[in-house]
Structure 1
Amino acid sequence: MRNFLLRILVASQWGASLALVSGCGTHVESGPSSSAPEGAASGASSSSTGGAASGVSSSSSSTGGVTSGAGGGGEVDPPDASAPLDPYPDPTCVGPFHDGGYYGQCCYEVHCTAPVGGACPAATEAAPHLDDLPPGSGTCTCSAEGEGAAGWIQGPYANRTASDPASCCYLVGSISCEGRPLLVRGEPRVAPLAHAPSAWSQTDVRRFERALADTDLSELAPAERRELARRWAERGQNEHASVASFGRFALALMAQGAPPQLLEAAHRAALDEVRHARLALAIASAYAGEPVGVGPLPLHGALDDLGSLEALTLATVVEGCVGETLSAIEAEIAAQAARPPAVRMALQAIARDEARHAELAWAFVRWAVTTGGARLRERVAGAFSRALDQVGAGAPGIADSDLPPSHGFLAADELHRLRQQAVADVLRPAAAALVDERGSSAGREFSGARGNAVLRGGATYLST
């Protein structure tokens, strides 16, 4: 958990987290605008499809057709469809580190597809045939310096597994860029479930849909399937309500005159929650054996009072700093235990996104206490103390005791231990650093190359 603590400390102390970066467009060139601090490690972004994760190169050059990040690239000749393809080279990270607008290096990922019309498409024509291309959850496309817009896809290359029907492989440049409950008068608000065909019970992620279709649930007893369907549907309801929660948060930010970077991050978080809801409801539908969607969300009274800066900040302490930090950690641990690939993929995506949402919450509270002064800082310290005491003292429940642990939900006693560990190792140190009036000395202890490397690395934020 130390790595996650570093991310939170950076978010709440220096505003250099994902929550405070500019929005990513469809293309980013890895230009010379920034350089890696002395001692910072190279970052790697993990590939979500089709093979190897991005590797880390200590030099600025790449191999096997990927142009050097330090030198010019030139144009790539179109492939000869009749010539045999070389196997794809090891992916590398190229170019300078970024920590404003984007973070980390431009890292190449492997994406593969089947031939089209008997031949592999040229790099400039391959994008429509590849699954899960950035921009997506926390990533944008990029290219090595000197390659221009055409350099974000390199290839085609041959698949290293000769028997794989997805025999056309490409290296795709990727760089990182930028659920809380919906409470109305203190009561959580969710949309009713709808057991009928619904767009909410499907996703547009082909790799996930294929994995879900291949999931074998025959080993589960009917009662287990019903309970898992209910729990995933409940998760989908909550993720769906989080879309509205972040929409209201964005309006409240505007009402308080918050900086545009926070507003951008809030809107991106709402889009993340749309995807989370669809993933969860698609899984619920698979376990239920019928479509499970959501109906209209009752929003009466939700916008009656956007609240003062103090009310917004104290709510964010509980729902964002504490709630979403715990959600990110719990989703990552649940993903590690999940056996069905579709469940694991969904939880990994949720964990990554919730980590960024937590960073947004910590960055906002830092801005708020800087704006609101000593009184608000004292109220924030008190809110953290009460919330963390409540989480740490919570007794293990029994709700999940009968659920198979490999289908996305942690056992109650394990969840209890994990939350206590997260409070001790992540939340209390981060809260102490945020409210420290002496310049956040507790946070500076974790800064420098180590803290920056965690943000720039980005692929693994949780180390237990």
Structure 2
Amino acid sequence: MRTFLLRVLVASQWGASLALASGCGPLVESGGSSTPPEGASSESGGGGEPGPPDASAPLDPYPDPTCVGPVHDDDFGYHGQCCYKVHCAAPVGGACPAASDAWPHLDDLPPGSGSCTCDGDGEGGAETIEGPYANRAASDPASCCYLVGAIGCDGRPLLVRGEPRVAPLAHAPSAWSYTALRRFERALADADLSELAPAERRELARRWAERGQNEHASVASFGRFALGLMAVGAPPQLLEAAHRAALDEVRHARLALAIASAYAGEPVGVGPLPLHGALDDIGSLEALTLDAVVEGCVGETLSAIEAEVAAHAAQPPAVRMALQAIARDETRHAELAWAFVRWALATGGAGLRARVAATFARALDQVASEPPGSAGRDLPPSHGFLPAGELHRMRQQAITDVLRPAAAALVAAQFPSTGREFSGGCGNVILGASATYLST
């Protein structure tokens, strides 16, 4: 879990890996700028090329893929990032294939990508297709490589007086039961659930509906967090990241409730969310910070790792796509929480530092002491939920390898109180923590 620990340390000490307005950075694990990959051409595959590139000419190896965006328009608001993927092909007749030929061969795109490429945004020369570049594996016959931009169209708990608050489920036609992600919807419609016993389908429907309730409540949690940020005078980049996170949670809730509806065989949505008492202490820096420790630094870091491991085990494509999207977004949300606490400690002084240390200790001890268990029967892990024993082992490892070291480093660190640290960005993520867990 070393990579995940490093991400958290970066967010908590310098804030350079936050997913903010400028988009995302080198590869899928770190921050950067909204410009194309270093060394990338500004050519587009759609036109303007005089002819196929000469494959015998020396080519630079393809740079790390990046993301740019997110995209904003009047109809859909912020609806995704343009994220580059690599396609390599063999030369034909001594010439590299036309760049436009790379697009149809890409697969494993994020939900909602369909067959849509992304347009150049006019800010830094980002275009849909870039290349050719040399393959990094010199012996690979597919020596002509291109970067192709694809758009993926578009939980943190809501604790009130220490208790989680969710909206009641509504077993009736609901806008929350469907999404606008066409590729995901097609995959969900094609899912074969016939091998599941009726009792398993009912339990999976219940568990996915519960996940949907929690994701739905996360929208309100980030809304409250955004109000708190304004009340304590936090930097605008943190506020922007909080609003983007709330939009992510809307999408997560719709994904989860759509899957619950598929397992249930009927629409599953949510009703009104009771919010009485939810805005108490909204202007308190201490309350906002301690909530972020529990809900974000601990809760969302664990949620991100768990979602990625569950996605690895998932078999129905729609379930896997949903969990991958949730894992990717929850990682950025966890980074936001660590970066905010870092800013709050620089602002709030020694008293707040002591309270943060005590809150970390109490929250981590509570999670570590929870015995293996499940809110219901163990289910086939191929449908999105890890067995209780495996979930317990993974949490123990995450606490030891990520959360305790990161919390100790954060509380012990000395840093200035400025807003300039929050200037980087990051898009899709490969969770090193979960990758390490899966390899053990």
TM-score by shorter chain over 0.5: yes
**1:266 correspondence with 2:229:** no
How does the TM-score come out when normalised to structure 1? 0.70
Amino acid at match of 2:7: R
Q: Deviations over 1:256-276 (max 9, x none)?
A: 000001000000000000000
Taking the TM superposition and a 5 Å limit, the aligned residue runs for 1:60-139 are 68-69=40-41, 73=43, 77=47, 94=63, 107-108=84-85
Describe the shift of the 1:351–1:458 C-alpha distance in structure 2 as closer, same or farther (beyond 3 A). Answer: closer
2:118/2:128 contact within 8 Å kept = yes
* Counterpart pick for 1:301 among 274, 277, 299: 277
1:378 aligned onto 2:377? no
Q: 1:229 to 1:135 in 2, by over 3 A?
A: closer
Establish whether residue 15 from structure 1 lines up as the match of residue 15 from structure 2: yes
Say yes or no: does 1:461 pair with 2:432: yes
The match for 2:316 among 340, 364, 380 is 340
Which residue number in structure 1 is paired with residue 4 of structure 2? 4
In 1, Cα distance between equivalents of 2:166 and 2:313? 28
Cα 1:153–1:413 shift into 2, 3 Å = same
Q: Could you tell me how far apart the structure 1 residues matched to 2:47 and 2:63 are?
A: 21
| Structure-2 separation of matches of 1:331 and 1:134 | 16
Q: Matched residues in 1 for 2:216 and 2:428: separation?
A: 30
1:16–1:100 CA contact under 8 A, matched in 2 = no
Of residues 253-262 and 394-403 in structure 1, the stretch that sits farther from structure 2 once superposed is: 394-403
Is this contact kept in 1: 2:160–2:277, CA < 8 A?
Answer: yes
Q: Which residue does the alignment assign to 1:276?
A: 252
Alpha-carbon separation, structure 1, partners of 2:238 and 2:223: 12
Q: 1:386 to 1:248 in 2, by over 3 A?
A: same
Question: What is the Cα deviation at residue 459 of structure 1?
Answer: 3.6
Asked if structure 2 preserves the Cα contact closer than 8 Å seen for 1:182 and 1:242, the reply is yes
Q: Distance in 1 between matches of 2:124 and 2:44?
A: 6
Taking the aligned partners of 2:112 and 2:190, their CA distance within structure 1 comes to 26
Shift in alpha-carbon separation, 1:220–1:97, aligned structure 2, 3 A? closer
Distance 1:303 1:199 in 2: 27
Please give the alpha-carbon distance, in whole angstroms, between the structure 2 residues aligned to 1:335 and 1:424. Answer: 22
* TM-score computed with the length of structure 2 as normaliser: 0.73
User: Secondary structure of 1:18's partner?
Assistant: coil
Shift in Å at residue 77 of structure 1?
A: 3.2
Unaligned stretches of 5+ residues in structure 2: 30-35, 50-60, 72-81, 88-98, 132-145, 417-424
Once the two structures are superposed, the pairs formed by residues 303-452 of structure 1 within 5 Å of their partners are: 303-437=279-413
Deviation digits for residues 247-304 of structure 1 (CA, Å, limit 9, x no counterpart):
0100000000000010000000000000000000000000000011111112233224
Counterpart check, 1:209 vs 2:185: yes
- Once the two structures are aligned, what percentage of the paired residues are identical? 70
Query: 1:75, 1:147 within 8 Å by CA — same for their partners in 2?
Result: no
- Measured on the aligned residues, the alpha-carbon RMSD in Å equals 4.2
- Which residue does the alignment assign to 1:225? 201
Q: Is contact 2:28–2:65 with CA below 8 Å preserved after alignment?
A: no
- How far residue 100 of structure 1 moved from its aligned partner, in angstroms, is 13
Give, in angstroms, the shift of residue 193 of structure 1.
1.0
Which letter does structure 1 place at the counterpart of 2:357?
A
> Is the 8 Å Cα contact of residues 224 and 279 (structure 2) preserved in structure 1?
yes
Contact 1:331 1:351 in 2 (8 A): yes
Rounded to whole Å, the distance in 2 between the matches of 1:256 and 1:338 is 41
Change (3 A) 1:303 1:439: closer
| 1:247 alignment partner, one of 223, 228, 236 | 223
Report if aligned partners of 2:28, 2:66 keep a CA contact under 8 Å in 1: no
Distance of 1:11 and 1:236 partners within structure 2: 27
Question: Tell me, which stretches of 5 or more residues in structure 1 are unaligned?
Answer: 31-41, 46-56, 62-67, 80-91, 111-121, 156-169, 441-453
SS of the aligned residue for 1:173 comes to strand
Q: In the alignment, does 2:14 pair up with 1:43?
A: no
Structure 1 221/327 Cα, relative in aligned 2: closer, same or farther at 3 Å? Answer: same
The offset of 1:153, in angstroms, is 4.9
Partner AA of 1:77 in structure 2? G
- Contact preservation (8 Å) 1:94, 1:107: no
Q: 1:73 to 1:224 in 2, by over 3 A?
A: closer
Deviation at 1:211? 1.0
For the residue of structure 2 that corresponds to 1:378, the secondary structure is helix
DSSP-derived class of the 2:247 partner:
helix
SS of 1:257's equivalent in the other structure is coil
